[in-house]
Amino acid sequence: MIWRACCINLCLVYVKIDRVRSGKKTYSYLTLAESYRNEAGQPRHRVVARLGEVTDLKSSGELERIVDALSVQLGRGPNSELSAESAPSYGAMAACDAYFSRLLLDELFGAIGRRRRSAGLSDAVFAMVANRLTDPSSKRRCVTDWLGADAALPESREAPSLDRLYRALDAVADAKDEIEAHCFTELCNLANLDLRLVCYDLTSTYFEGEEKTTARFPSKAFGYSRDHRGDCPQIVIGLLVTSDGIPIAHHVFSGNTADRSTLPEVMADLQARFGVGRIALVADRGLISEENLAQVAANGFDHVLATRLHRDPTVAAVLEAAASEQAVFVPVGDDGTKATEVVYEQRRYVVVDSPRRHVRDDARRSELLAVTEDGLIALAERVRKGRLVDPAKIGAAADRILRDSGVSRCFSTKIAHGLFTWDYDEKAMDYEERLLAGRYVITTSLDNKTASTAQVVAHYKALQSVERRFRVLKDFLALRPVFHYTEKRVRGHVAICVLAAVIEAVMALDLTRAKITDPDLDGQQLSARRALCELERIRMIRFVDGNDNERQVITRPGPFQAKILAAFGVNTSAWRSRVA
């Protein structure tokens, strides 16, 4: 058949040919496109799906079948009612399915489902996890709008009902420990987990609407909000992550739980469930207390912990020692960062000095001092003019200025009846400028033979992997808003998000191993999020004729998509046209 035009109109959807010259060869690519008008009323078109290179389509017989179907639509065949019914995304779903299989999650949830007499549990969990990874939404939208219309399930899976999703959440909440233990075992083989270092940190997620704690949701409570929503009740989530950034366990605490009180429970659980050997626990300064350090050691864990930097005489003494002429700094980074060791009261400390952090600290301190100084000058002027004379009211006004300034320790004030004066605290300013600017302090139980100065710093920086996973949970996987109102359903929702984060982390590890870089960001590693977005362009197009004969065509992956699919271990050999 000779093509006499590049486009064949098919209602609002049409097929066009793009020709690309490479060397002495010209390649023709078949594309399914959709015409539309933009906000200015100008005609535009967008790609719905790329069907593949014409020569390959001919050799496989796909082109002939597609052309026959289009010819019928144009009245050149016995049936003139052919239509393209839908074109949901398929590539990203196939990738999620591949990881579900690699982690043997179908076997796990199949066994849990049989115990609970819950049919289709594995398919329901898969739908929720895939939804988190590709287009996070409520469970209701997942069933009513997303599945089928926006995303096509692999052929082996059955679309769950909304009621089945809710029952699956209950099952996941009840089996959280079993799921984590299973994933841990499979990941040890799949990703070769390094458990010599485990990072732990906390985050919170808040709830809007009903504020009171109820019997159905006792963990919902007011507390310190990392989302800056102290006006809303919340829960606290603790996450344990390997140095590679792969989550191995999570814990849900009441919203008013103090950070440092979570550590003993988490350590005991880590040791009891996973049976790990001697490992180093990496955590941030909010989790430190003398009691916690003693418990870490008593449980057989080493530690790498950041210290508090203010109002701690021990840290002040360590920083003073690091500022002495006897201190020897060694390089610990390519950006000029250096570190020195201090042994104080028989404990090992590492003081890290970063030029970049020094510039940042100086700029931030100058800005905060200027803002606070303006407030204190204005208050002193009000008192001088007699507008404020009561010492209690003057003190309250000064407290409002200093309380959340971030630099209150740098000021001293004097208050009396009709009198208010202020000045800089020279000792505090010296501490900030000479000792603290650009520096932070790490304490560790690891000796020099086990970890050098540079290795201790690298261990602490591994804590960033937890922060990345929190960003993935809250941003990419859309942990909130949470559309559930009972303890078990919320815990199930969190567990689904963490399971999706496990798959995302393994995807990222596979992309790193395959050395696939982002084509839009020079030299930057391709993220799992960007990879899944690219795979979403691979679509399953459903054609139906007037006799209700249906044909499903999966668009051929482009070269970049093929690299991603190979890195993810997706088998595309069965991606052929299917006739129903």
Find tokens 């839009």 and name the residue: 520
**C-beta of residue 143 within 8 angstroms of C-beta of residue 165:** yes
Candidates 323, 367, 322, 318; CA nearest to 347 is: 318
Candidates 309, 350, 256; CA nearest to 435 is: 309
Which residues does the chain have with pLDDT short of 50?
1-11, 78-80, 577-580
Sign of CA dihedral 497, 502, 507, 508: positive
CA angle 93, 574, 567 (to 5 degrees): 55
Q: What six digits make up the tokens of 18?
A: 């793009």
Integer angstrom CA distances of residue 521 from 99, 518, 524, 532, 570? 26, 5, 6, 16, 25
pLDDT digits (tens, 9 = 90+) for 490-533: 999 999 999 999 999 999 999 999 999 999 888 899 999 999 99
How many other β-carbons are positioned within 10 Å of the β-carbon of residue 195? 16
pTM: 0.78
Integer angstrom CA distances of residue 10 from 32, 43, 85, 201, 247? 10, 16, 11, 54, 48
CA angle 540, 546, 547 (to 5 degrees): 95
Burial 71-81 (b: 16+ CB within 10 A, else e): bbbeeeeeeee
pLDDT of residue 276: 63
**CA dist., res. 327 & res. 344, Å (int):** 13
Domain ranges of the chain: 7-89+542-579, 356-436
pLDDT of residue 510: 94
| Residues facing residue 53 across a β-bridge | 29
**CA dist., res. 138 & res. 489, Å (int):** 13
Q: What six digits make up the tokens of 189?
A: 């083989």
**CA dist., res. 389 & res. 310, Å (int):** 33
pLDDT of residue 4: 35
How do beta strands 83-86 and 197-206 pair?
A: unpaired
| Residues facing residue 247 across a β-bridge | 241
Candidates 146, 143, 141, 137; CA nearest to 162 is: 143
Average predicted confidence (pLDDT) for the chain = 87
Q: What six digits make up the tokens of 511?
A: 């992309």
**CA dist., res. 464 & res. 364, Å (int):** 22
**475 secondary structure, DSSP code:** I
How many other β-carbons are positioned within 10 Å of the β-carbon of residue 156? 9
Beta strands in 114-220 (DSSP E): 197-206
| Residues facing residue 481 across a β-bridge | none
**CA dist., res. 473 & res. 470, Å (int):** 5
**CA dist., res. 467 & res. 203, Å (int):** 9
Candidates 419, 409, 432; CA nearest to 388 is: 419
**C-beta of residue 304 within 8 angstroms of C-beta of residue 338:** no
**C-beta of residue 190 within 8 angstroms of C-beta of residue 505:** no
Burial 15-54 (b: 16+ CB within 10 A, else e): beeeeeeeeeeeeebbbbbbeeeeeeeeeeeeebbbbbbb
Residue 382: CB partners within 8 Å, gap ≥ 6?
A: 388, 397
**CA dist., res. 465 & res. 243, Å (int):** 7
